[in-house]
């Protein structure tokens, strides 16, 4: 029976070793490589002729962190399936990783059963949306044609910038608007799109093709 090959990219060796034991306790999976940072992953993928089925990627690592690593994967191996596993629950980080092509984003305090479900979903369905991060938000997303009818040009520009790691203050500066006006855009879109957070706005934009990935 085929075993799915998984690579762990995390600089905390104790966590990485524990994760390896957990994964290999599941049927059909094996950890073929443990890597401590993005730079070493780039070197590995650049020479590996048989890439893994799944990469478990941390965000905060030395030398080359998760964001830069996800950028590289997106440009050089876009078909690789990446599941982010991190302690970083910042909305801007979650948005960035999803926009760059990560198939899911889960936190390290996830239950082992849910963790196994996340792996299975990414491998067999192509994505995993955890309840803690975005499942409820995804359920509130409208159809693409509704987005076309509802959003004006300035709202689209704002929505595109929301899908970056820029702060709202930085977005206001780039759009030559006051922070108060930006707060108004945000509140209006929350109501129009029936979402409750920046993650919800980003997921709506990504799902409906309103931003370039």
**What is the mean predicted confidence (pLDDT) over 165-173?**
91
Q: Is the pLDDT of residue 117 over 90?
A: yes
Residue 58 tokens read as 């941390």
Domains of the chain: 4-133 (3.40.50.2300), 140-207 (1.10.10.10)
Q: What is the pLDDT of residue 38?
A: 96
Q: 136: how many CB neighbours lie within 10 A of its CB? A: 14
Residue 200 tokens read as 């919800």
Residue ranges of alpha helices (H) inside 77-135 are 91-99, 112-124
Q: How confident is the model at residue 147 (pLDDT cuts 50, 70, 90)?
A: very low
Query: What phi and psi values does residue 82 have, to the nearest 5 degrees?
Result: -120, 130
- Report the sign of the C-alpha dihedral through residues 136, 55, 34, 21, in that order: positive
Round to whole Å and give the CA distance between 41 and 100. 17
Say which residue, 8 or 198, is predicted with more confidence: 8
Longest dimension (CA), the chain: 60
Round to whole Å and give the CA distance between 168 and 45. 36
**pTM exceeds cut of 0.85:** no
Q: What is the pLDDT of residue 192?
A: 85
Least confident residue range of 44-53, 69-78, 185-194: 185-194
Q: Is the pLDDT of residue 71 over 60?
A: yes
């Amino acid at each position: 029976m085929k075993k799915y090959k998984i690579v762990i990219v995390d600089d905390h060796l104790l966590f990485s070793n524990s994760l390896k034991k957990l994964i290999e306790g599941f049927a059909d999976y094996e950890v073929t490589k443990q890597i401590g940072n993005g730079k070493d992953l780039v070197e590995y993928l650049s020479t590996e002729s048989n890439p893994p089925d799944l990469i478990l990627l941390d965000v905060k690592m030395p030398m080359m962190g998760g964001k830069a690593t996800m950028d590289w994967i997106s440009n050089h191996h876009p078909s690789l399936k990446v599941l982010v596993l991190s302690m970083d629950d910042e909305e801007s980080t979650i948005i960035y990783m999803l926009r760059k092509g990560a198939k899911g984003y889960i936190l390290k305090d996830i239950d082992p059963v849910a963790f196994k479900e996340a792996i299975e979903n990414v491998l067999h369905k192509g994505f995993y949306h955890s309840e803690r991060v975005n499942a409820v938000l995804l359920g509130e997303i409208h159809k693409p044609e509704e987005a076309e009818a509802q959003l004006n040009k300035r709202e689209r520009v704002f929505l595109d910038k929301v899908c970056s790691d820029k702060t709202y203050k930085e977005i206001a500066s780039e759009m030559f608007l006051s922070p108060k006006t930006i707060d108004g855009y945000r509140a209006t879109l929350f109501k129009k799109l029936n979402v409750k957070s920046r993650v919800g706005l980003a997921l709506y934009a990504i799902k409906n093709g309103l931003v370039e990935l």
